[in-house]
Amino acid sequence: MTVSPAPSSDGEVLLRLNAEYLRASERSDRGWFEEHLAPDFLCSRPDATLLDRAAFLVQVSTPSSLSELEAHDVLVRLVDDVALVHARTTFRDGGRPGRGRYTDVWARRGGRWVAIAAHVTRC
């Protein structure tokens, strides 16, 4: 993983949160998402649906078919109290290889980083 152009303590925190987000996605770890998603979180999915926080939590609670989910070429950009995390992914979905790209938007609220948006594409 690469942090650029945000080589700061915030950048390191965001890299850790990014890695945790991926692991939570693989494990269907609703608790992690409940702790780290803002109340106004929205997710644009590869099928063009838009999920609010409640719908996303339902979706992430179902067992995931993803495995070996890895982020590549991670780019963290800080703009005041907002961060954008861009990356490409490789994974297995039901055993079949896949790839994609995502952008997550984080905001510093109450002294901590929370995810406010996600946009996911698959190739």
Q: Which two tokens stand for residue 11?
A: 């950048």
Q: What does the alpha-carbon distance between residue 52 and residue 65 come to, in Å, rounded to a whole number?
A: 21
Q: Show the beta-strand stretches assigned E in the chain.
A: 37-44, 50-52, 66-79, 82-93, 96-109, 112-122
Identify the CA nearest to 23 among candidates 10, 9, 36, 11. Answer: 36
Long-range contacts of 85-92 (CB under 8 A, 24+ apart): 85/14, 85/18, 87/18, 89/22, 91/66, 91/67, 92/66, 92/67, 92/68
pLDDT tens for residues 12-28? 999 999 999 999 999 99
pLDDT band at 65 (very low <50, low <70, confident <90, very high): very high
pLDDT tens digits, one per residue of 67-82: 999 999 999 999 999 9
Fold classified for 9-122: Nuclear Transport Factor 2; Chain: A, (3.10.450)
Determine if residue 73 is left, alpha or beta; phi over 0 gives left, psi from -120 to 50 gives alpha, anything else beta: left
What pTM value is reported for the model? 0.91
Domain ranges of the chain: 9-122
Is pLDDT of 64 > 50? yes
Q: In what order do the strands lie in the sheet with 66-79?
A: 50-52, 37-44, 112-122, 96-109, 82-93, 66-79
| Size of the chain in residues | 123
